[in-house]
Amino acid sequence: MVYLFFVTHWGLSVLMQSLFLHRYAAHRMYTTGPRTERALHLLTLLTQGSSYLEPRAYAVLHREHHAFADTEKDPHSPA
């Protein structure tokens, strides 16, 4: 039962990272109504816990990553 909880939690966390933070917030691939956006926001917060990043902040960092990929200005650069 505990295993099922952790697998489900991990799956939802990955799903919310991809669908809400990456595709919705960073790339604006789709639009939603205010209620749906709030629900996605809350679900992302619940699944990602202390590693949660505000969608606007995630979008800014992600766009900087695309703009400055593999340079010193890249916020995700290993350098």
The pLDDT tens digits for 35-74 are 999 999 999 999 988 777 888 888 888 898 889 888 888 8
Range of the domain at 25: 2-67
Determine the average pLDDT of the residues in 1-14. Answer: 94
Alpha carbons 11 and 61: distance in angstroms, whole number: 23
List helix spans (H) across 1-79.
2-16, 34-48, 55-67
Q: Which pLDDT score, from 0 to 100, does residue 25 have?
A: 92
Q: Does some domain include residue 17?
A: yes
pTM of the full structure:
0.79
Q: Does some domain include residue 78?
A: no
Where does residue 16 rank: exposed (0-12), middle (13-18), buried (19+ CB within 10 A)?
A: buried
Q: Which pLDDT score, from 0 to 100, does residue 13 have?
A: 93
Alpha carbons 8 and 56: distance in angstroms, whole number: 26
pLDDT bin (cut points 50, 70, 90) of residue 79 is low
> How many domains is the chain partitioned into structurally?
1
Q: Does some domain include residue 31?
A: yes
